[in-house]
A and B are shown apart, each in its own frame.
Chain A
């Protein structure tokens, strides 16, 4: 695409995307670290995840400020308008992703005090890796406006849902077998639910990327498992 006649306008739009990419990198790391903190029972790492969440909140506010400023001062049109709006929406999704990662980290602190449940934490680790890779893909798609990657992320949400459902059943078995694990298992269940929600945010972001690039909304219903556990 040709550069803007007004250079500073083009630079402001570029800055906005750059900040979303920066935020995306941080959110991705938050999820990966939170899951690692669970897997390794690493209290220091969990605490660092909790602390670093503030940075994501600040970035979201900053992106929102910049987008509002652009709308007010530059009146972006067409692809510029879509870029501005999707930056704002993706920033919100990333901020929520950060909150969910922080919540996983907090729960990891609680379960690190109980007996290790290596089978369960390995399941969380697997699910975490899957969700992290979807986040990474969706951010790559955003960086390069790659529709095919966004489309792939969008269509693969059922995989995460399946993981969640499998974990739900696994956790039920554990809790029925040994009621003393109910407290820890509930925390693990919430972690899995958080990861599933992060997967949904990745799907959201894929939709925003699709809108930004094509100007069209997704027409199809989202792929969803029909038998979803609570």
Chain B
């Protein structure tokens, strides 16, 4: 599937699944292949050449101290850095083999394929239903009210929120608890049928129980999506991810199986960071 030619939405089957059966991927197929990715804010380099393969159908965690470039790199994956005038991105990032910085790529279409969830839940000041229906509406994914109802319901179900809100879909999304709002935002991202979900500190504003629900949700979603999560909580990275990448001062220091990174990291800087030894 080309990034700039989006097929019509097929409501019954397509949410969160690759639309083209020939594109069926597994946890060993790289979804993203990034090579020598450099980002500058003005003259200031923020990333010094990142090489990483991010696997499909699995969770990759980016860890590292503040200012290490992990969020900057995450934002490269759906061209969110385009919105920062001073930011300049070099290098190549392939999504399913296609360069996502290609001039022909429509960033709006790209961001529907590569959804994003932020640190603070940011539902629109609209009803729960409208929050979820907003994306499918602007992308023209539903042709009837029934189709839209179906998208909203299945998205909320995938985000494990349906049971809690099915009787108040037309109340304000902002009236939900923080954890519910975050799951609403995830449902909103799922509604446009993405293949990748990027999460930037999705649990840092949540209590431990809401955090556990999101982590459980992440574990379910990875059956269908490629998930990349930035987190300051090492314990969370250890709990939810299969791969962990450690960033430091704009470099990707080490990437590997999460279990190996947390029991036997190869690089001294990784070791110092995850054991709490950075001064």
Chain A residues in contact with chain B, CB under 8 A?
A: 1-6, 9, 75-82, 214-216
Contact = CB atoms under 8 A, between A and B. Distances in A.
Query: Which DSSP category, helix, strand, loop or mixed, fits chain A's interface?
Result: loop
Contact of A2 (B262, B270, B279): B279
A50 B263 CA distance: 39
Contacts of A3: 277
B263 A82 contact: yes
Contacts of A2: 272, 277-279
Nearest to A13: B275
Interface residues of B, number: 16
A195 B87 CA distance: 70
A4 B271 contact: no
B235 A78 contact: no
A6 B278 CA distance: 10
Given A75-B235, A78-B265, A6 B276 contact: yes
A27 to B, nearest CB: 28
Nearest to A1: B277
A1 B268 CA distance: 9
B199 interface: no
Nearest to A77: B274
A215 B277 contact: no
Query: Which DSSP category, helix, strand, loop or mixed, fits chain B's interface?
Result: helix
User: 6 shortest A-B CB distances, which residue pairs?
Assistant: A215-B264, A2-B277, A77-B274, A80-B275, A5-B276, A77-B262
Contact of B278 (A5, A75, A77): A5
A78 B276 contact: no
Nearest to A81: B263
Interface in B230-279: 234-235, 238, 262-265, 270-272, 274-279
Contact of B276 (A4, A82, A214, A215): A4
Contacts of A1: 271-272, 277
Given A9-B276, A75-B235, A78-B263, 5 more contacts: A3-B277, A4-B276, A5-B276, A81-B262, A82-B264
A9 B276 CA distance: 9
Contacts of B263: 77-78, 81-82, 215
B271 A79 contact: yes
Contacts of A6: 276
A52 B270 CA distance: 44
Nearest to A2: B277
A208 to B, nearest CB: 14
Contacts of A75: 234-235
Given A75-B235, A77-B234, A4 B275 contact: yes
Nearest to A9: B276
